[in-house]
Structure 1
Amino acid sequence: MKNQNIYISVNLDMTTTKKGADLIHSVPIDRIVLETDAPFTKESKKRYDYKILEDTITQIAKIKKSNLEDVIIQIQANSKKILG
């Protein structure tokens, strides 16, 4: 049986490695949320603001070869589902 409660959190650093990009590519978009724990990304040591989240979503859309707006809408829906 498929577990409907499993999500993969993605941060900007993951989008820049082959292993991370392969994982993002393999996970259905309705199972992806954004990683918001700033200490766990190298990039966040330089900055952590809304722009880093935008950059992450942009990279996810590129990896998945998807429309940016569709990815934004789906990731927002995923987050709302988790947070209630």
Structure 2
Amino acid sequence: MFRGKMSTKEVDEQMVNVQNKNSSYFVEWIPNNVKSSVCDIPPRGLSMASTFVSNSTTIQETFRTVSEQFTAMFRRKAFLHW
């Protein structure tokens, strides 16, 4: 959601740039997976603003890191006080 004076063409071009730059985070089996809209009225006190809402699987990297760290500590029996 983009708010402020801007063209939909400009928004679409920027969204294509974001998708191309971060292509590893977008799955190929969901075509047209980015939706955008433009509201000409900006928020009070700002000339323009945007909001991004996503459903993402990038959290898996964080979970993988935590799992690896836990496994390493568990092997050494770290923090097993009881």
Question: Shared fold (TM-score greater than 0.5)?
Answer: no
Give the structure with higher Rg (CA). Answer: 2
Relative contact order, higher structure (CA 8 A, sep 6+): 2
Give the TM-score normalised by structure 2: 0.29
Give the TM-score normalised by structure 1: 0.29
